[in-house]
Structure 1
Amino acid sequence: MAGHILVSGPSRSGKSAWAEFLAAESGAPVIYIATAIAASGDPEWCARIAQHQARRPPHWQLWECPVTLVNSVQQLPPDHCGLVDSLGTWVANTLEQQETQWQATVQHLLAAVAACQATLILVAEETGWGVVPPYASGRHFRDRLGELCQQLRPLMTEVYLVTTGFALPLHQLGIPLPITRLS
């Protein structure tokens, strides 16, 4: 396996498990890049993180980077597989950035992904399939994550949609949209 892979899907669809399977199948040493941090006051969130930790093989390296994703991607050794779980959590962690700062951050991430010689697997949540959130921060998050995934897509060799325990290879089944102004 070579190149970069985007795995997207709704909550509890199996997207992280599919990404972990792809990472294990790569045959390369795996670096798991976690964007979530355990919140001591949120036992349900901690349980979700523990579930992810329990699934990972003990020989995988763990890099925790709730905000510094660009630096982590830049530091991946070429002979490794980096698994980023997840872009949605990273976007949430950087949501306070003003638009100009966010656009610069996105451009730095796109450049880091384009230059990355390691196999890179990115997990992203599908957030826009329901009603438009009735509050500004929810719409802001949803829009940023959706646009980020569209901008990353041309840099990917494979793109999967995971839903109800099935992985659909969009890179084989889909027709890429021309990239102009994303919406």
Structure 2
Amino acid sequence: MAQQLILVTGAARCGKSEWAESLAIASDRAVTYIATATVDPADPEWQARIDRHQQRRPATWQTMATVEDLAQQIEGAEPTQCLLIDSLGTWVANLLDRSDVEWEKIAQALLAVLPTSRGTIIMVAEETGWGVVPAYPSGRLFRDRLGMLTRQIGSISSTVYLVTGGHVLNLSQLGQKLDR
């Protein structure tokens, strides 16, 4: 696997993370798992989800956590590394309290560093907006920010996969990129 940017997207609980993990293993590179979730001791169900993800990962993988500085984590990647970022949706949720100006600056920093990375990057992103418009402003803000960021990352990715219904579709082979 040459240096590249791979986007794995799909609905909740569809197998996105497992597919991304299999791609990371196939890269034959040293894998660094970048977790965007924050641990909440008051939420045992959330901790159980985190534990399931951790149990699937090979012991040889390094794990790093980030709440905001995703661009900085990517910037330091070595050519021999594969960064697996799981997930973009959680990262966006971490930053919902940021103003539109702050958010735009953070998102643009991420978009600027992705094409220049020397390592292979695999990003997991949740699909949103396939149902009703969220009834609350924070839900609409999340949907809009994640949807736009996923689209922008997809447009610069070498490969985009959609995981749904227990199947993986290579959208880069089946589909066509939208004009920017």
Q: Which residue of 2 aligns with 1:55?
A: 56
TM-score (normalised: structure 1): 0.96
Aligned AA for 1:60?
W
Matched residues, number? 179
SS at match of 2:98: coil
Q: Say whether residues 1:97 and 2:98 are aligned partners.
A: yes
Q: Say whether residues 1:112 and 2:113 are aligned partners.
A: yes
Q: Which residue of 1 aligns with 2:131?
A: 130
CA–CA distance in 1 between the matches of 2:7 and 2:116? Answer: 16
Deviation at 1:137, TM superposition (A): 0.2
**Runs of 4 or more consecutive aligned structure 1 residues displaced over 2 Å after TM superposition:** none
CA–CA distance in 2 between the matches of 1:78 and 1:93? Answer: 28
Q: Unaligned regions of 5+ residues in structure 2, if any?
A: none
8 Å CA contact 2:5–2:115 kept in 1: the answer is no
TM-score (normalised: structure 2): 0.97
CA–CA distance in 1 between the matches of 2:76 and 2:173? Answer: 30
CA–CA distance in 1 between the matches of 2:18 and 2:85? Answer: 12
CA–CA distance in 1 between the matches of 2:45 and 2:68? Answer: 22
CA–CA distance in 2 between the matches of 1:37 and 1:54? Answer: 17
Q: Which residue of 2 aligns with 1:18?
A: 19
Deviation at 1:25, TM superposition (A): 0.2
After superposition, give the CA deviation of every residue in 1:109-150 in whole Å (9 maximum; x if it has no partner): 011111101000000001111111100000000000000011
CA–CA distance in 1 between the matches of 2:93 and 2:41? Answer: 18
Aligned AA for 1:61?
Q
Deviation at 1:92, TM superposition (A): 0.3
Please show how residues 25-174 of structure 1 align to structure 2 within 5 Å.
25-174=26-175
CA–CA distance in 2 between the matches of 1:72 and 1:162? Answer: 26
Identity of aligned residues (%): 51
CA–CA distance in 2 between the matches of 1:154 and 1:45? Answer: 31
CA–CA distance in 1 between the matches of 2:47 and 2:128? Answer: 21
Q: Unaligned regions of 5+ residues in structure 1, if any?
A: none
Deviation at 1:154, TM superposition (A): 2.3
CA–CA distance in 2 between the matches of 1:70 and 1:100? Answer: 17
CA–CA distance in 2 between the matches of 1:103 and 1:38? Answer: 26
CA–CA distance in 2 between the matches of 1:165 and 1:114? Answer: 30
